[in-house]
Amino acid sequence: ALAGGILAGFDLRWAYLLSAMAGLAALAVALRFVEPVRGDRRAHPPLTQLLVVLRRLRDPVLRWLMVFAVAMTVLAHVPYEFYQPYLGFLFAGNAGGYALTPAVAGVLTAIMMAMAAAASHFSLALARRVTPGGALLAAVAMLLVIIAAMASLVHAWIMLLIVLRGVPMALTRPILVSLAHPRLTASVRATYLSVQSLAGRLAFSATLVLASLAVIDMGHLTEAGLSGILMVYAICTVIVLPVLVLGAIRLTAATRGATGFVPGG
């Protein structure tokens, strides 16, 4: 991200070339992967797997985990998808022929990734201290603050909040996985996580369609238009917040004593 952003400041084609080289390197590594040895290598048909996952959602813990996972996917994608046009308004134009927006975006992305990696180490400790539900709500609140700040003001100081975008997901992912895995057999865990990821991305796609209604011309996004879209997300988050609070309370009650997440532990 850092190298790509810096090179893109000179010419976007250099960034795409670097991405292609990194993709080929990743492909070479992936081709060396081997499947682990299993006693039973048979797999159920995809539809059967999907139905099994849907039946597992009768478990209230898995159901609320799915709700939080979808909500977090939507909220975490908002600052990520819109921070580049946001930076475009901050750093419009070139500096001696060098485009600042891609370079700044690359630097911010690198910082985001580093901070997210550091935050993930404290995830389970945070859940033990403030309960899993409390940790999930704290992550939602952090994303709400970031989105609301971006909607309210286009200023360089907001970049200090934007770099925190990866922290909420880094904090919540280990919690969601640690609570879900004991309730899922090995044969459906991967399918459950795939369905969870797909549901979150479909939900975000749907919200983009709805949020675009706040803008007259999406082909020429203005600063006011960007602010309007972000404000729609912030308001909708506040509206659904009581549901998430209820889910956090029930999730914490259902998992107390069974997962090792004891407040103050």
| pLDDT tens digits along 27-45 | 999 998 887 766 555 667 7
Mean pLDDT across the stretch 191-204?
Answer: 91
Residue 260 lies in a domain: no
The tokens for 25 are 């390197």
Identify whether 263 is part of a domain.
no
Chain centroid to Cα 194, Å, comes to 14
pTM (two decimals): 0.82
Residue 223 pLDDT: 84
Name which of 60, 259, 263, 119 is nearest 179 in CA terms. 259
Instruction: Answer yes or no: is 264 within a domain.
Output: no
Token pair 């609301």 is at which residue?
148
Residue 112 host element (H or E): helix 100-120
> Between helices 12-30 and 2-10, what is the axis angle to 10°?
150
The verdict on 26 and 56 lying in the same domain is no
Indicate whether 180 and 77 sit together in one domain: yes
Q: Do residue 26 and residue 58 come from a single domain?
A: no
200 assigned to some structural domain = yes
Residue 264 — very low, low, confident or very high, per pLDDT cuts 50/70/90? very low
At position 135, the amino acid (one-letter code) is: A
When pLDDT is averaged across residues 189-215 and rounded to a whole number, the result is 87
39 occurs within a structural domain: no
Residues 29 and 117 in one domain: no
What residues make up the domain containing 135? 44-255
Q: Would residue 38 count as lying in a domain?
A: no
Between the alpha carbon of residue 91 and those of residues 80, 102, 163, the distances in Å are 17, 10, 17
Question: Which residues are within 8 A (CB) of 28 and not within 5 positions of it... i.e. 6 or more apart?
Answer: none
